[in-house]
Amino acid sequence: MSQSRPLAVFAYDFDGTLAPGNMQEHAFIPDELGMSHEDFWAETRLIAHEQRGDPILAYMHLMLQKARDKGVELSREAWSRRGANLPLFPGVEGWFDRQTARAASLGLDLRHFIISSGNRELIEGSPIARHFERIYASAFLFDEADDAIGAALAVNYTSKTQYLFRINKWTLEEWDETSINKVMAKSERPVPFDRMAFFGDGLTDIPTMRLLTDQGGAAVAVYDPQSEKSIKAARQLREDGRARLEGVADYSEGAELDLLAQRLLVGMAARVGAHGLALWPQGPAA
């Protein structure tokens, strides 16, 4: 690919990072399935355990099974309507344009990605969907009537790292298993890991954070100051060395996280400049 400015990437988990709680809990589980959050997730864990399966596939299966039993609409449009009402942390809606403009002023082309175990269809319906280059999230399989009938894609804690490599090589299509595995020299990859930052909050983000931390990128542990569980998780991510940075889930201009993002972008731009200096002049010394 060709671009006038060096690419940089901010990637985000969704649940607990850009939005409080789990996205399915805000309407679908209590209002449409008529279940408590606790009962739904307990049944999910039981299915995964009994079937020796992936908890992400288990929750997707259970969502569809319970919805069919209740006669709940499963069309793509219905999922999008649900996503439109997802609550977001303060300042999220203005964050992306501000960071993109800031990056441009530093000579960078900043792109935003979602890497989440939540539902792609709900995120695609959210007010912020237009800001993302790609939304990598667990997705349903749809039939000819455009109703969800199964799982097409499950994004769990280890598979999240796949999408960092897709971004690194800029082979972005989920179904493309050929380009992603082709040999590509590090110097030719459009987005080096040290021009990536990942914002996450919990267990499913650990491998992603570890990879970026080890490869010179930035892993940021985001936490909800109203949730002791969230605060504890962020502290653990820092103490365990998974994330070296942390911030309150307030994306408003001038807030702690906004100032951190500014420093990250300045650092990325500086590394681009330093790389150029290191490569010049070329040829034999005078």
Q: What is the 3-state secondary structure (H, E, C) of 63-91?
A: HHHHHHHHCCCCEHHHHHHHHHCCCCCCC
Q: Is 216 left (phi over 0), alpha (psi -120 to 50) or beta?
A: left
Residue 92 Cα to chain centre, angstroms: 14
Q: What pLDDT sits at residue 189?
A: 92
Distance CA(85)–CA(122), nearest Å, equals 9
> For the segment 129-142, what is each residue's pLDDT rounded down to a tens digit?
999 999 999 999 99
For residue 286, the model assigns a pLDDT of: 42
Q: What is the pLDDT of residues 226-283, one digit of tens each?
A: 889 899 988 888 888 888 899 999 999 999 999 999 999 999 999 887 665 544 455 4
160-169 and 206-214 helices, crossing angle to 10°: 40
pLDDT band at 26 (very low <50, low <70, confident <90, very high): confident
Query: Which of 32, 40, 21 lies closest to 78, judged by CA?
Result: 32
Contacts of 230 (CB under 8 A, 6+ apart): 16, 201, 223, 224, 249
Please report the pLDDT score of residue 281 as a whole number.
52
Element holding 207 (H helix, E strand): helix 206-214
**pLDDT greater than 50 at residue 285:** no
pLDDT attached to residue 187? 85
pLDDT at 220 over 90: yes
Residue type, 163: Y
DSSP letter (8 states) at residue 38: H
- Could you tell me the pTM of the whole model? 0.92
Specify the pLDDT at position 4. Answer: 81
pLDDT at 78: 95
Chain mean position to CA 34: 29
CATH of domain 7-20+89-278: 3.40.50.1000
- pLDDT for position 276: 54
| Amino acid identity for residue 94 in this structure | G
Q: Residue 10 — very low, low, confident or very high, per pLDDT cuts 50/70/90? A: very high
Phi (first) and psi of residue 268, to 5 degrees = -60, -45
pLDDT for the residue 3:
61
